[in-house]
Structure 1
């Protein structure tokens, strides 16, 4: 099976490099407290970091599909990490960013278009769907590495809390993406193993899966259970609820600087 793509089809896009540069510069500004407004720097760092993770999420789907047999991936521009090449730029980038701003939830976005007819084998189909949220999980591990290795103690408080909040978004995205709801990656993992009849019955619900999850999260009891699970995972990785809370407060710079506890 060939997976050869032209060099131009796998060259990293200047758009992605620009977003990554914003993440790096704003992260440095938070670390050095160089910005006149630390909150605005945290906002730029988290939003650009979130977009970078969305690009990596979709790239993981595309790259796995390429090795699974869909050689059309390169021509669609998915291997360049350019968010403007995604099938649904609104669902993939704009709405997830708005959800982060509005509620601090890393909701999954739309996806790359994969020609599933080119893929052979149920395991390959499942792996393609799982690749995206697994990338969010790996990104969460990378972001929390300073916490579970103890290196975070030497970091400025604002930067530490910004990392914590960005890690929270990755954990929420991984969990939500793995839900077995039509339209989400979790259902994509299971779908190849379902009977043809069940898949036909579930197909009409796929466009509404994300909206249904968002609506459920507005129910206080569901929201409490969900974020209790998220906090438990982050706690196991060395991240405290206070750090994620302060990170979100800094992120919402328009509300003013957060009040740090005495001794922080």
Structure 2
């Protein structure tokens, strides 16, 4: 007998996700090849498609961990197909994060998939479900920056190097912001099972506004400075320089013209 959690259609990778992965691959090839007059456009599509792919993986990680923890309902909801159109809040999960990347070059986290927490037993399992998303962003950042921290950049075209750096920076910002202990974000979800019922009731009304609160605080110069210093430190640990990320953002904003590379990056 096939249950909802084991039905093959509930685990089959969505054509939408495969299309996004194909766009990422083709645009990445175009950036690597340095095709005349389209490098900036190719970087834009590579970063945006890569960012949406990472959002899908983020939400999938939540759903898959929930499935393993006892919530079989995530399969029937389509969360395991990696289809971004199946998520509870497509606007919050996909559209707004992409808009923030385009407008401000920052990887803000999106809305989470709906987990039926009543099906799950054990505080550790609840915490792991919330931590799975940011952990996916962190892993994606490590993969993207592997050529940097493995000192394997000697033969990598400059534009591709910068595109990788910028996309990796988005993963780092998403992981750090999502781990903040703010109601509505994954960091709070990690802590929530360990709080008293009274504390959880007090925090619950603020959950829908957590992302807006974080975004508002980022407009405060002092907070913004500390945040970007932290991002710079993490990127430095990954052997990615501020110049790499800056040029990546400049290439990404192709409508402003491709940047003039005044410094040759070190391999």
Alpha-carbon distance in 2 for matches of 1:177, 1:94: 17
With normalisation by structure 2, the TM-score equals: 0.97
**C-alpha displacement at 1:4, in angstroms?**
4.3
1:88-136 Cα distance to aligned partner (Å, 9 max, x none): 0000000000000111110000111110000000000000000000000
SS, match of residue 49 in structure 1: helix
SS at structure 2 position matched to 1:151: coil
Q: Within the alignment, does 1:254 sit opposite 2:252 as a pair?
A: no
Structure 1: distance between partners of 2:108 and 2:201: 26
What is aligned with 2:95?
Answer: 94
Provide the C-alpha distance between the structure 1 equivalents of 2:20 and 2:36, rounded to a whole number of angstroms.
18
* TM-score normalized by the length of structure 1: 0.98
Q: Is the 8 A contact 1:35 1:41 kept in 2?
A: no
Matched-pair contact (CA < 8 Å) for 1:130–1:185: yes
Relative distance call for 1:112 and 1:263 in structure 2 (3 A) is: closer
Q: 1:121 maps to which residue?
A: 122
- Paired with 1:28 and 1:156, the residues of 2 have a C-alpha distance of 11
Q: Counterpart of 1:183?
A: 184
Q: Equivalent residue of 1:64, what SS?
A: helix
Q: 1:122-174: per-residue Cα shift (whole Å, max 9, x none)? A: 00000000000000000000000000001112100000000000000000000
Other-structure match for 2:108: 107
CA-to-partner distance for each residue in 1:176-201, whole Å, 9 max, x for gaps? Answer: 00000000000000000000000000
Match of 1:12 in 2: 13
Contact 2:179 2:185 in 1 (8 A): yes
Q: Secondary structure at the match of 1:260?
A: coil
CA contact (8 A) 1:126 1:188 kept: yes
1:221 paired residue number: 222
Runs of 5+ unmatched residues, structure 1? none
Label 1:35 to 1:201 Cα distance change in 2 as closer, same or farther (>3 A): farther
The reply to whether residue 149 of structure 1 matches residue 186 of structure 2 is no
Q: CA distance change for structure 1 residues 116 and 156 in 2, over 3 Å: closer, same or farther?
A: same
- How far residue 59 of structure 1 moved from its aligned partner, in angstroms, is 0.1
Shift of 1:35: 5.1
Structure 1: how far apart are the matches of 2:214 and 2:36? Answer: 37
Assess if the C-alpha contact under 8 Å between 1:29 and 1:35 holds in 2.
no
Task: Report how far residue 240 of structure 1 moved.
Answer: 0.4
Is the Cα–Cα contact under 8 Å of residues 42 and 250 in structure 1 kept in the other structure?
A: yes
- Equivalent residues in 2 for 1:1-264, closer than 5 Å: 4-34=5-35, 36-264=37-265
Question: In terms of mean alpha carbon deviation, does 125-134 or 4-13 score higher?
Answer: 4-13
